[in-house]
Chains A and B, each alone.
Chain A
Amino acid sequence: GAGVSQSPSNKVTEKGKDVELRCDPISGHTALYWYRQRLGQGLEFLIYFQGNSAPDKSGLPSDRFSAERTGESVSTLTIQRTQQEDSAVYLCASSFSSDTQYFGPGTRLTVL
């Protein structure tokens, strides 16, 4: 079946603009995760959703970052008033169990 998909694959925006990144998880996966990966760095946890439970937002770096998920389907990560330090690859992953996360290809965000 289809894997995790993310859109857009690349996004270039100007400082101060808002951006929305989309993630379509694997059908049936109850958990969804967002990570940020800066150039040459590891994965930085941002937020995860599990079923209908309250999301774990402990990794969001500031109140400019927010994420929503509709049921067990699509999720959007929104960054308001983007800053240059927000430039990174944003990776989404989904899982059915608590360990095996399947990653999408990421969205490369560039803030000018």
Chain B
Amino acid sequence: GQQLNQSPQSMFIQEGEDVSMNCTSSSIFNTWLWYKQDPGEGPVLLIALYKAGELTSNGRLTAQFGITRKDSFLNISASIPSDVGIYFCAGVATGGFKTIFGAGTRLFVKA
């Protein structure tokens, strides 16, 4: 079935550093989504991307929908301690509602 490869699995960074994570797939998706999950909570949507090549920002976050429709990246600039959490990419399958999630990138920020 469809799978997403998300990397890196975890990141340990210093406050103020920029962060980059990405997802790749062998399948084409119509929509790419990036979520953040805090401990004990459900994931919260950060950015949604709907068109190949689209670049979207949300504050310090920037995400892009790859032109091949098989990949996406998320950048976080000037990280702060509250950026700690698990970041998931997700792709919405062509023609349906099914959403495939990556395994997550665990971000640790040292003050």
Interface residues of A (CB under 8 A from B): 4, 31, 33, 35, 41-45, 48, 50, 56, 58, 91, 93, 95, 98-106
Contact = CB atoms under 8 A, between A and B. Distances in A.
Contacts of A98: 31, 92, 96-97
Given A99-B31, A99-B33, A105 B42 contact: yes
Given A42-B104, A43-B88, A4 B98 contact: no
B40 A105 contact: yes
Interface string B80-99: 00000000101010001111
Interface of B: 6, 31, 33, 35, 40-45, 48, 50, 88, 90, 92, 96-104
A102 B96 CA distance: 17
B43 A48 contact: no
Contacts of B35: 103
Instruction: Report which residue of A35, A42, A95, A104 has the largest number of chain B beta carbons within 10 angstroms of its beta carbon.
Output: A42
A51 B88 CA distance: 27
9 contacts: A4-B42, A33-B97, A41-B104, A43-B101, A91-B42, A98-B31, A100-B45, A103-B42, A103-B43
Contacts of A35: 101
Secondary structure type dominating chain A contacts: strand
Instruction: Report which residue of B31, B42, B96, B99 has the largest number of chain A beta carbons within 10 angstroms of its beta carbon.
Output: B42
A42 B44 contact: no
Contact of B99 (A33, A58, A102, A104): A33
Contacts of B96: 56, 98
A85 to B, nearest CB: 18
Contacts of A4: 42
A31 B103 CA distance: 23
Nearest to A44: B101
A42 B102 contact: yes
Contact of A41 (B41, B45, B103): B103
